[in-house]
Amino acid sequence: MIYRLVRALWRAALFAFFRRIGVQGRGNVPARGPALLVANHTNAFIDGLLVLTRLERPVTLTVKSTLRRNPMLAALIRAMHVVEFHRSQDVGEGADPAKNVDAVGACAARLADGGCIVIFPEGVSHSDPALRPFRTGAARIALAYVDAHPRGPALALVPTGLHFEAKERFRSSAGMIFGEAMDVHAWRRDHPGGDAHALTEEIEARIRGLTANYDAEREMEIFGRAAELLETADDGPPPLGQEPAADVAARVSLIHRLQAGRQWLGHGRRAELEALEERVRGFGRKLHRLGITAAELFLPMEVPRAAFFVFREMELLAAGSPIAAWGWMNALPAYAVTKAVVMKMSKDRDHFASNSVFLGIPIFLLFWGMQIALVALVASPLRAVLYALSLPYAGAVALLYRDRAGSAWRRARTFLLLARRPGHRRKLVDEARSILADLRRLAAEFEAAETSNAVS
Amino acid sequence: MLRTLHPADRATLFILAVVTATLAVAAAGGAPVAASLGLHAGILVAFAGLATWMGAREGAVVRGIAIIAVMFTLYSTLGHVAFAAVPWLADPWLAAADRALLLGRSPSLVVEPLGATRWAEVLSFGYAMFIPYLYVSIVLSLVGRPPAERDEFVTGFAVLYALSFLGYLFLPARGPVVWMAGDFTLPIHGGTFHRIILKSVESVGGPHGAFPSLHVGASLYATLFDLRHRNPLRALIYLPLVATIALATLVLRYHYAVDLAAAVVLALAASHLARAAMARRGETARIAAEGAAEAAA
């Protein structure tokens, strides 16, 4: 009961913070039976909450032991039966790594009861462009369970890739990919001498396949720009409100392909590679200066379509404005306080979303509670009930309205910008198509080289 | 032949065939419906021709326009002809079912005091907004949509109206405003919007077709469609309008509460059936494409 209530609150908070949360491969998580979800760790508490709120089955979180020092979190840890791990780097803050034997035992026992656990083997949340070295905790839990229950039930180890568009930005997007489940009993049979280190390597390889990892921040920009261009595929952006769910798995796979291609091109055709990278980077800078994306460059410029766009957006925004205004008006005090507190408390990019979600819930409940009490005092209990019902509803409308109005404004601005400078647009489109043609030519060459390598 | 037709066309042909057959039986029994029989038979033949010509073509805008035109025509022709074609009146049954819902009290009489306040005008405004909401929803569902979504909307729309017209035809009722006129003691405290509604109802020959409420069914269906097709904002914005329309139909005495309940069930069913029909069509097309590819290989 408490678990469901807290999960519902977290779901609401994540709905408020993220504009979109895409989930792929949910079917890879078994509906029942022992399951160990192993994920990359890039957004502090949010990582665990994302997994917990996107699955219907109860999920046990694992956290660092130092969180218990916060009384509010300590209560949550108790209520949600969270398993605490003592990290060696937290010894100065009272952590006792010797207790991790108990933590691993507790996790194995939870799995034996058919539970589902999520764990982050990197051990620390970070903003690095690539995965950090994995610790062996996840593998030790899995092997402890398998060794204690050699005849099953089978343990499904599900590698999970978590992705954030811009984790420090309110109303950005998040995505998660549940990879193919790995049967740890089968792995044990196939690797009789395999220890926790060997299993950790296997897990790391699988998570690497579900995440985009770069050698440096600079690489992120180039691959991001190239992937965006390839995804655009000469086509305009979908109409607002009809955007398909983000295909994070396809984006990751494309990045991996680009990385492999870059490596191939780097052997012997270095100059060509550098020239192409410079073109991609230069093109990206031009788009950045205009404040548009590659897809927006291919925005349809026909007047009837633009007129229909105006009709559709005006209808929605005009009809929704009173409700959105009501929602914003009533959420503003709580929102302003949450924002101020979060800005003060967030010391790096990792903390912003977590603090927003964790602090936002009590602050909003407190403010809305006071507002409802005030209405009950000055009006009537019936009006207070109606007012209370209107708060989450109008709040949700206000958030979605903000997103839609922002997108509509951006699209209108882009249209006017490109319509005013048709020659400039044509040049940019030609440049985009030329880069795309080169990327596709190289992709075909790379594929041919791969095929001939495979044959020989 | 029928299997190759689009599901939306099948639903439309079904209701046209039922209406025509019912009128034919009524005309044979001496009911004065010969002119209506001719009109509906003509629509049936014309639509059958159009459906055959369109075949199973995906996302045809002309299909959407044709089906909506047929359904709106039936909406205005069917209400009155049903009273002539069917030798019973459903008002007493619907009123009794309504009282059973509230353990002996009529919901229409329970909300009567609300109609005598200024809220009647607010509700009239909501009721009047049904037409612009429905028309804009239709336009937004037919234009600028992927063909599969357009087809789904049209299919659900056809299913909803076809099922609702079965109620209009076989359970003809004029609603509390006529049947319970003597039970109401308070006049409706309406203003400009209420007058507009009264005039528009009069212009189609007075109240008819109470069961189920297509005002509630069609507006809820449009909202559900938005909700299912990545437009939760529009669905959320118009949800209060749907609730207002539902309350207005009751307070303005055009519908029984059971009409609203039936409308909600039908809107949900139409939404579900349309989705299922489209999924089935997609699967069939996939299997056919795979078969063709295998044959080509």
Nearest Cα residue to B208 out of B35, B75, B108: B75
Q: Is the pLDDT of residue B73 over 80?
A: yes
What is the identity of the amino acid at B159? V
Q: How many CB pairs under 8 A join A and B?
A: 41
When pLDDT is cut at 50, 70 and 90, the band that residue B295 belongs to is low
The set of residues, in sequence order, having a beta carbon less than 8 Å from that of A411 and lying 6+ positions away, is: A237, A240, A296, A299, A309
Per-residue confidence in pLDDT tens, chain A, 456 aa: 889 999 999 999 999 999 999 999 999 999 999 999 999 999 999 999 999 999 999 999 999 888 888 888 888 888 888 998 888 787 777 778 888 888 999 999 999 999 999 999 998 999 999 999 999 999 999 999 999 998 879 999 999 999 999 888 999 999 999 999 999 999 999 998 889 999 999 999 999 999 999 988 888 888 988 998 888 877 778 888 777 778 899 999 999 999 999 999 998 899 999 999 999 999 999 999 999 988 899 998 899 999 999 999 999 999 999 999 999 999 999 999 999 999 998 888 888 999 999 999 999 999 999 999 999 999 999 999 999 999 999 999 999 999 999 999 999 999 999 999 999 999 999 999 999 999 999 999 999 988 888 776
Distance CA A268, CA B110 (A): 86
Q: Is the pLDDT of residue B297 over 70?
A: no
Give, in order, the Cα–Cα distances in Å from A92 to each of A69, A70, A97, A133, B176: 13, 16, 11, 22, 78
> Both tokens of residue B130?
């049904």
Residue of B nearest to A20 (CA): B230
Nearest Cα residue to A65 out of A45, A41, A82, A40: A82
Q: Is the peptide bond before B32 cis (omega within 30 degrees of 0)?
A: no
When pLDDT is cut at 50, 70 and 90, the band that residue B296 belongs to is low
Give, in order, the Cα–Cα distances in Å from B249 to each of B127, B170, B230: 7, 21, 29
Contacts of B144 in chain A (CB under 8 A): 239, 242, 305, 308, 312
Q: B237, B241, B247: which to substitute to probe chain A, counting the most A Cβ within 10 Å?
A: B237
Q: What angle do CA B93, B95, B96 make, to 5 degrees?
A: 65
Average pLDDT (B51-80) is 86
The set of residues, in sequence order, having a beta carbon less than 8 Å from that of A76 and lying 6+ positions away, is: A6, A82
Q: Mean pLDDT for chain B?
A: 90
Domains of chain A by range and CATH?
2-209 (3.40.1130.10), 217-298+423-455 (no CATH), 303-420 (no CATH)
pLDDT digits (tens, 9 = 90+) for B227-278: 988 889 999 999 999 999 999 999 999 999 999 999 999 999 999 999 999 8
Residue of B nearest to A321 (CA): B237
Give, in order, the Cα–Cα distances in Å from B214 to each of A147, A206, B9, B161: 63, 54, 20, 8
Average pLDDT (B133-146) is 92
Give, in order, the Cα–Cα distances in Å from B111 to each of A243, A400, B124: 43, 34, 14
When pLDDT is cut at 50, 70 and 90, the band that residue B2 belongs to is low
Q: Is the pLDDT of residue B59 over 80?
A: no
Residue of A nearest to B234 (CA): A316
- Tell me what pLDDT residue A271 has: 92
Distance CA A291, CA A241 (A): 21
Distance from CA of A242 to the nearest CA of B (A): 6
Which of B53-57, B135-139, B192-196, B208-212 bottoms out in mean pLDDT, i.e. has the lowest? Answer: B53-57
Percent of chain B with pLDDT over 70: 95
The set of residues, in sequence order, having a beta carbon less than 8 Å from that of A232 and lying 6+ positions away, is: A294, A295, A297, A298, A432, A436
- Residue the block writes with tokens 């908070």: A13
Tell me if A239 and B144 make a contact (CB, 8 A cut-off): yes
- Asked if residue B92 lies in contact with residue B175, where contact means CB atoms within 8 angstroms, the answer is no
- Put simply, whether A392 touches B (Cβ < 8 Å) is no
Tell me if B233 and A239 make a contact (CB, 8 A cut-off): no
Q: What is the 3-state secondary structure (H, E, C) of B90-130?
A: CHHHHHHHHHHHCCCCCHHHHCHHHHCCCHHHHHHHHHHCH
Tell me if B233 and A242 make a contact (CB, 8 A cut-off): no
- Tell me what pLDDT residue B106 has: 93
Does residue A62 sit in helix, strand or coil? strand
pTM over 0.80: yes
Distance CA B33, CA B24 (A): 8
For chain B, the residues whose C-beta falls within 8 A of a C-beta of chain A are 136, 140, 143-146, 229-234, 236-238, 240
Distance CA A324, CA B258 (A): 33
What is the identity of the amino acid at A100? N
Tell me if A320 and B233 make a contact (CB, 8 A cut-off): yes
- Asked if residue B78 lies in contact with residue B215, where contact means CB atoms within 8 angstroms, the answer is no
Task: Give domain B89-296's CATH architecture.
Answer: Up-down Bundle (1.20)
Q: Is the pLDDT of residue B58 over 80?
A: no
Does residue A82 sit in helix, strand or coil? coil
Average pLDDT (B213-223) is 96
- Asked if residue A349 lies in contact with residue A169, where contact means CB atoms within 8 angstroms, the answer is no
State the complex-level ipTM.
0.86
